[in-house]
């Protein structure tokens, strides 16, 4: 069991966005158009393996399909040298968009790609009614992070113009031992 701090952040206008500078690497951020539980599970475990993202690891194929086919659900992936470097998952409900998951694979951290992906993802969140005409204009984009996430996560969110609006302390009872890593037996060196 571990006590962590959750921080909730928001933007209430597209004008709040402060874009990151372009990364040195050529990055092609694309929206995932095919529903692929295998691909999304890969992204979830590869990105979240070091940060105790464990909730979705036990999901079966049908549960992944349910999550991916919810209305106004989108996944955005940055590619560097033909390789997926991370992802951002967003979902609109009413006039709000939640950034549900965000992060990079370890080998792409520290290269300016996270700020760029977050910029593109927040722009995509604010423009969701263009892709989903049934939506009303977006009035808020929000997410939460915690003290178990990557060391640059909170600073990146704030640098992009997301403002904290609530914090809370919670007990994580699912944390025992080292983080699960990207797959069982990966034995990758810790970050």
How confident is the model at residue 190, as a pLDDT?
A: 67
In this prediction, residue 81 carries a pLDDT of 97
pLDDT in tens, the chain (191 residues): 789 999 999 999 999 999 999 999 999 999 999 999 999 999 999 999 989 898 999 999 999 999 999 999 999 999 999 999 999 999 999 999 999 999 999 999 999 999 999 999 999 999 999 999 999 999 999 999 999 998 899 999 999 999 999 999 999 887 877 888 888 777 767 66
Structural domains of the chain ordered from first start: 2-172 (3.40.630.30)
| DSSP track, 77-122 | EEEETTEE-EEEEEEEETTEEEEEEEEE-GGGTTSSHHHHHHHHHH
């Amino acid at each position: 069991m571990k006590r962590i701090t959750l921080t909730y952040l928001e933007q209430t206008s597209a004008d709040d966005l402060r874009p990151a500078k372009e990364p040195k690497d050529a990055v092609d951020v694309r929206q995932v158009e095919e529903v692929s539980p295998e691909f999304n599970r890969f992204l979830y475990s590869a990105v979240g393996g070091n940060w105790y993202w464990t909730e979705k690891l036990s999901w079966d194929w049908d549960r992944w399909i349910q999550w991916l086919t919810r209305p106004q659900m989108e996944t955005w992936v940055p590619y560097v040298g033909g390789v997926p470097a991370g992802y951002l998952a967003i979902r609109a409900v009413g006039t709000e968009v939640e950034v549900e998951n965000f992060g990079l694979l370890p080998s792409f951290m520290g290269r300016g790609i996270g700020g760029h992906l977050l910029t593109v993802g927040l722009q995509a969140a604010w423009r969701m009614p263009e892709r989903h005409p049934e939506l009303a204009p977006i009035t808020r984009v929000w997410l939460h992070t915690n003290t178990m996430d990557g060391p640059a996560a909170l600073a990146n969110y704030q640098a992009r113009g997301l403002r904290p609006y609530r914090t809370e302390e919670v007990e994580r009872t699912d944390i025992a031992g080292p983080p699960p890593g990207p797959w069982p037996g990966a034995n990758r060196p810790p970050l």
